[in-house]
Amino acid sequence: MSYEDNDNKNWLKGSLALRITKEGLRDLVDGDSRSIQHRIHLSVIQARNLSPGTTCCQCLTENLFQCPTSGLCSHPRNNCKFHDTPVKGYRSCPSHICDDLRDEICRLHKFGGPSWKNSNADRWCVNHWEIAKCFMPLGGYKDVCSFDQTDYNGVINILINCTAFQQKLSFKVDTVTNILTQARDIGRSIRHSSDLKVTDADLNCYITTMTTLLSDPKYLSRDRKAQEAVLKLNKADTLYISNEDVHEILDEARIVVETGKHQIEQAVTEGKHIIETGKAEIEQAVTEGKHIIETGKTEIEQAVTEGKHAIETGKAEIEQTVTEGKHAIETGKAEIEHAVTEGEHIIETGKEDIAQAVTEGEHALKTGKGQLESSVIEGVKILQFEADNAVVKVSKQIHTDVLVPAENRFEEKVQARLKALKQIIQDTTDIGEREIYSRTSEGIEALDEAVFEAMRKISVSTAEREEGNIHYILVYKITFSALMK
């Protein structure tokens, strides 16, 4: 690189501007990182009801993550390089602090994916920068322990990825493009320049972006170090670049190159390991597949044999079932014929019983009719006898009460007596009629009961004779109708 070349000088000025900007962000990034570590440590202690000042220095970062964890380590079967010793195996924090700190760090990360490999968890409780490194890009920051040891790119990424800094910035950090992402891209352009050159226009654009960031009105515009950096950047045209600055800038560039080379070599090594592991897994899968195929073939043959046996057994069972069915049909046919014969016998017997019942009913009807006529004649005789007695009594009474003392009685009394006698005769006649009706009704009821009892006996003896029952009901209706006549 020629120091006389203007673009080369601009590249050096741009590199120096990155260092100035980083220093201008010291109070914000280093100061707030310390506050963030103190705040989340205190919140964990209070949530766990631990004694104030309780710390833990026994947990390695590897102890806080299961194996495998996506994006962090591979399965132990693949020789995980993250959990490469028993001491680094997954376990819970004995002080119940580090697990909660891990969760708090993850919650503060803009994308929920902290760079755990950058950080040493055994110093989370005592060194705020170990927590800050979780928000830097992965690789190259494992051994840095402070703000001074961290480059511009690491500092800018803390502001981008840690959401706690949003309260100190006036613009939205979660947008795709903002002043911080622009500042990050400037660092990449300068550090990754293949010819170590920057044009005047690009340099002016870079300086404007950096001063805009350092002049943010929410906090940095009132911060002393930030405003000192703005003054230096505004004098970029007259910046004095000492040999010491040149050597430091070149050392930083060399470190960037070596770090990138190391990361590439590490990626290649890991890629080879993944390929070898994948190859071994494929070979193992092929072997297992062959075994599964052979096993499946044997199982299929066994299943075919069992299927043939099942078919033969089923065929025999079907034939036996058909034979049993035929036997059942023949037996059922015989039972039906027997039932028909018994039914015909029952019907004939029912016919005879019904004919006998009809004969008995007709006899009972004639007997009842004779008894009814006898009762009526007897009732008439009784009525005639009582009427004759009443006439005799009336004649005697008239003779005694009317003819003998006729000279002493008036005609009105005779008429009254006659009226009374007529009433007595009428009453006697009514009583006779009621008695006749009563005895007639009792005779009819007795006849009905005798007929019903005869019919009931016939019904009991022929309960199972279905066709006989129909005939019996018709005979009963005819008999009952005749009785009602």
Task: Report the candidate in 415, 439, 425 with the shortest Cα–Cα distance to residue 389.
Answer: 425
Does residue 358 contact residue 475 with C-beta atoms inside 8 Å?
A: yes
The pLDDT value recorded for residue 472 is: 47
For the residues 196-206, what does the mean pLDDT come to? Answer: 94
Evaluate if residue 97 carries a pLDDT over 70: yes
Of residues 277 and 7, which shows the higher confidence score?
7
pLDDT of 454 reads 57
Express each pLDDT in 309-368 by its tens digit.
877 887 787 688 668 878 866 886 787 688 668 767 866 776 777 578 557 756 855 775
Closest Cα to residue 97, out of 122, 130, 68?
122
Q: Which of 196-210, 316-330, 392-406, 469-483 has the lowest mean pLDDT?
A: 469-483
How many residues can be counted in the chain? 485
pLDDT of residue 388: 72
For the chain, the domains span 6-58+93-241, 350-484
What angle, rounded to 10 degrees, do the helices at 224-234 and 26-47 form? 150
pTM, to two decimals? 0.55
Residue with more model confidence, 271 or 86: 86
Mean pLDDT over 100-105 rounds to 97
Q: Residue 422: pLDDT above 90?
A: no
